[in-house]
A and B are shown apart, each in its own frame.
Chain A
Amino acid sequence: GESVGLHLPTLSVQEGDNSIINCAYSNSASDYFIWYKQESGKGPQFIIDIRSNMDKRQGQRVTVLLNKTVKHLSLQIAATQPGDSAVYFCAEKARLSYSGGGADGLTFGKGTHLIIQP
C-alpha cells in the first residue's frame, strides 16, 4: 500500500547549524502534510503544516518545503538548539473534510531522530 517514509533514520548536527529533515510520500492523493516533533515519553507535538496548494511555508525557525512533482517534503530547522533533539515525523492526509464527514486519520512515516551535538 501507499505510505509516507523518511530518507534518514538519524541526523546529527552541531548546535547552531541548520537541519534539514526529508520525507518522501507515495500517495498522489495526499493534499495535507504535517511535521510533528516527538520527545521521549511524550506525544507528538505539532510543528508546522502545509497544504498541497502551497510549496513553502515558514514558521518560527522552521520552514516546510513541498515538491509535489517528486512527492517530497522537507523540514528545515534554523540555528538548531539542544531542545530540538527529538524524533521528527512527517504525516499526510489523503483528503480534507471540513464538514467532518469521513475525514481519515493521519498516516505517519517512521521518523528521523535528530541529535544536536554541542
Chain B
Amino acid sequence: GAGVSQTPSNKVTEKGKYVELRCDPISGHTALYWYRQSLGQGPEFLIYFQGTGAADDSGLPNDRFFAVRPEGSVSTLKIQRTERGDSAVYLCASSPYAGYEQYFGPGTRLTVT
C-alpha cells in the first residue's frame, strides 16, 4: 500500500514569505506527527494530531508555525514570515494509533533565501 507522502519535495522561498507543506498519511492512520530535521541532526518533534485535533503542539518553535488537519487525514504545516533559520527538512509521520510505530514520509526540504 501507499506510504506517507509529502508535497512539495522541495520548496525554496524568500525570507518573509508564507509557505504551506502538505502531508498525506497512510490511509486509516489516526495519529499524525510533524518533525523538523536540520542538517546533521535527528528529527525534532513539532506537533502531534490525534484525529482532527492537535493533541500536543509543544514542539512548535513559535507562533509563526501552525498546523491543521481539518478532516482527520491530510495535514498542512503553515509557516508565516519565514526566516532563514526555518530552512530544514520537514518530516511527517503517521501511526495507526498513538503509541504505535510511526511511519515517516520522505520529507519536504524547505530553503529560505
Contact = CB atoms under 8 A, between A and B. Distances in A.
B103 A107 contact: no
B106 A103 contact: no
B21 to A, nearest CB: 13
Given A41-B106, A43-B91, A98-B98, A104 B4 contact: no
Interface residues of A, number: 30
B35 to A, nearest CB: 7
A45 interface: yes
Interface stretch (B12-20, B48-56, B62-70, B76-84): B48-56
Interface in A97-112: 97-111
A45 B104 CA distance: 7
Contacts of B4: 43
B110 interface: no
Contacts of B56: 102-105
Nearest to A45: B104
Interface residues of B, number: 32
A48 B103 CA distance: 12
A103 B48 contact: yes
Contacts of B42: 4, 89, 91, 108-111
B25 interface: no
A104 B106 contact: no
Interface in A76-118: 89, 91, 93, 96-111
Given A108-B42, A108-B43, A109-B42, A100 B102 contact: no
Contact of B44 (A45, A99, A108): A108
Contacts of B106: 41-43
A36 B46 CA distance: 18
Contact of A100 (B35, B46, B55, B101): B55
A66 interface: no
Nearest to A49: B101
Contacts of B44: 108
B59 interface: yes
11 contacts: A34-B102, A43-B91, A43-B104, A46-B101, A98-B98, A98-B99, A101-B98, A102-B56, A103-B56, A105-B33, A108-B35
